[in-house]
Amino acid sequence: MTDVEDRGAPVVGLSDTDLALLETELAEIELLPRIDADAASERVVPVLRKARAAGLHVLEQRALLVQGEVAYYDGEQERAAQLAQSALKWATEHGSVFLLARAHYVLQKVFLDLGDLSLGLEHSVRAVELLGEDADPRMRLDHIARLADCLGYNRDLPGARARYRQALNMAVEIGDVDRELLVVNNWSYIEAQYGDAEAAIELSTRMQELSVTTGTELGIGRRDTIARALIRVDRLAEAEEVLEPVADPEFRLAGREGDGGAEGLLALVEVQRRRGKFAEAQRNLDVCLRLCEERNLGYVRVAVRQEQAELHAAAGDYKAAFEEHQLYARDALQLQSDERDARARTLQAMYETSEARRQSLQYRELSLRDPLTGLYNRRFVDEELPRLLAEGTTSGRPVTVALLDLDHFKRVNDTCSHEVGDHVLSALARMLEAAVDTAPDGSFAARMGGEEFLLVLSDGDQDATTQLLESLCATVRDHGWSDLTGTLPVTVSIGAAAGPSDPVPDPAQLLGRADACLYEAKRSGRDRVVCDLV
């Protein structure tokens, strides 16, 4: 794997034996980050120092790339992106195929976290293609397993399953228990989220059995995966049993989770709430909230708000539930803004280091689209809505935002399957596109996440807007859903808000008003439109 350029370079203070040892040490370190990022971080520093002193440029770049991957696991996306893009540029210029494969490997995960699933998939495919057959089997396994993850997130379940199976067979063949557990965990998670619930259960059972036979303690993340699979099939008591250790502070501390176990606690709270254990759920939610505040976990804090609203509602305190839901909407919009800024910083750090200072129009468009429905995504809303609101102020025609949420959508997923649920979401997306076709220029539809969608209408005519939304609500209700959902009805609740035309409305406040209307539509019976048109 070492390039000829290294062998021909002047080696300062290194014998052939020392050089071989340095190469062997680095090769071992490159296998560590996914399994033990802390060990990789510690061991790579002296290797990097020796490579630089000896003028071994390929080894230096490989060591820097290890630091980039460790930075990713430490939550330092900007540094990870910058180091990986720099390694990609250097490898391209110097023809280092191995380094190219490794740079694509790190960039795949960065782009997945940025929400660009298509570009993440491209990097993942290149990472597998470029890694030679002579590479360490553990490294080939890691590249294939990451491709499986990426295919899963892109909803290519047959492709993901084939790659997971390949990686799992490799792990068993070489006797690598750590990697076997990793592959089984990720495969089970993908099945639980997007695929076959029974397959997720089978995989999670295998993970538990492997843990027992090898004496490997299941950490919080893997317990969460097992619980998610059990939740999919309503085996809530078993899910609670799996998650119970997460309530122990010593167990959370020993797990060394980056979030201190907050996400695992949140899963336990959901299970306890659904089992009617409201007092226990509230105690654990309070602990989760403290962890969020101590560790500045904004993304978990938003989910805590939502779970708190659910707890209040389950306990019959609807006033408190509504107030908490309003706080959830506020925090969710702030998180969205923070994530947008973080993505921008990461991309800036990446593109400042290489020739990739421009994105192709193809990839930019893909990055603005939801992979399941083809509608625009939150990123597009963040960029386009402020511009439309400013134009609406100039023209005197206020923009209307309408949030749509499928009613009782969980029943469709639980009763019919997540695959049927995906078909329902796609069918609704086509109805939204048809509605946009009849709306004024500049209007658009977007998927905000899960079963929540957004219509942005650029016309200030309140009567026409109300009529369009009422018609859309009826279209969904009257659609022939029986082929997909049987006797289960499919309806939507819609909350809409508009204006004022002057001054320029704040996007977050406008969406907050629409969300309040959506909540009122849900509260007053669902399958209806509630508007706040100024």
Q: What is the radius of gyration, based on Cα positions, of the chain?
A: 25
Helix axes 177-194, 418-437, angle to 10 degrees: 50
Question: Residue 355 domain-assigned?
Answer: no
> What mean pLDDT comes out for the span 301-306?
87
Give dist(CA 522, CA 322) in Å, integer: 11
Residue 466 in this model has a pLDDT that exceeds 60:
yes
Give the domain range for residue 268.
250-297
> What mean pLDDT comes out for the span 363-370?
68
State which of 22, 39, 74 marks the end of a domain: 74
What's the residue count for the chain?
A: 534
Q: Could you tell me the two tokens for 297?
A: 């976990």
Q: Are residues 376 and 269 in the same domain?
A: no
Q: What is the pLDDT of residues 177-201, one digit of tens each?
A: 999 999 999 999 999 989 899 999 9
Give dist(CA 469, CA 426) in Å, integer: 19
Residue 395 in this model has a pLDDT that exceeds 80:
no
Residue 352 in this model has a pLDDT that exceeds 60:
no
Q: Are residues 437 and 518 in the same domain?
A: yes
Q: What is the pLDDT of residues 3-23, one digit of tens each?
A: 434 443 444 457 888 899 999
State which of 281, 297, 313 marks the end of a domain: 297
List the beta bridge partners of residue 447: 453
Q: What is the pLDDT of residues 124-152, one digit of tens each?
A: 999 999 998 889 999 999 999 999 999 99
Q: Are residues 378 and 462 in the same domain?
A: yes
Question: Residue 142 domain-assigned?
Answer: no
The burial of 467, by beta-carbon neighbours within 10 Å (0-12 exposed, 13-18 middle, 19 or more buried), is given as exposed
CB 503 within 8 A of CB 393: yes
Question: Residue 394 domain-assigned?
Answer: yes
Q: Which residue has the higher pLDDT, 342 or 518?
A: 518
Q: Are residues 373 and 496 in the same domain?
A: yes
User: Is the model's pTM score more than 0.75?
Assistant: no
Question: Residue 208 domain-assigned?
Answer: no
Q: What is the pLDDT of residues 218-261, one digit of tens each?
A: 888 899 999 999 999 999 999 999 999 988 888 877 766 666 68
Question: Residue 458 domain-assigned?
Answer: yes
Question: Residue 97 domain-assigned?
Answer: no
Say which range, 202-216, 381-395, 432-446, has the weakest mean pLDDT. 381-395
Q: Are residues 524 and 444 in the same domain?
A: yes
Q: Are residues 401 and 521 in the same domain?
A: yes
Q: What is the pLDDT of residues 109-125, one digit of tens each?
A: 888 877 778 888 889 99
Question: Residue 433 domain-assigned?
Answer: yes
Q: What is the pLDDT of residues 267-281, one digit of tens each?
A: 999 999 999 999 999
Give dist(CA 454, CA 407) in Å, integer: 15
Q: What is the pLDDT of residues 58-109, one digit of tens each?
A: 999 999 999 999 988 887 888 888 899 889 889 988 889 999 999 999 999 8
The percent of residues above 90 in pLDDT, for the chain, comes to 53
Report pLDDT for 344: 60
Rounded to 5 degrees, what are φ and ψ at 342?
Answer: -65, -40
Counting the structural domains of the chain, the total is: 3
List the beta bridge partners of residue 55: none
State which of 297, 315, 336 marks the end of a domain: 297
Q: Are residues 276 and 425 in the same domain?
A: no
Helix axes 278-295, 262-274, angle to 10 degrees: 160
Band of the pLDDT at 449, cuts 50, 70, 90? confident
Q: What is the pLDDT of residues 285-297, one digit of tens each?
A: 999 988 888 877 7
Q: Are residues 377 and 498 in the same domain?
A: yes
Q: What is the CATH number of the domain that holds 433?
A: 3.30.70.270
CB 214 within 8 A of CB 177: yes
Report pLDDT for 113: 76
Q: Provide the sign of the torsion angle of the four alpha carbons 196, 199, 205, 206, taken in this order.
A: negative
Q: Which residue has the higher pLDDT, 460 or 234?
A: 234
Question: Residue 520 domain-assigned?
Answer: yes
Neighbours of 503 (CB within 10 A): 8
Band of the pLDDT at 353, cuts 50, 70, 90? very low
Q: Could you tell me the two tokens for 532?
A: 């706040």
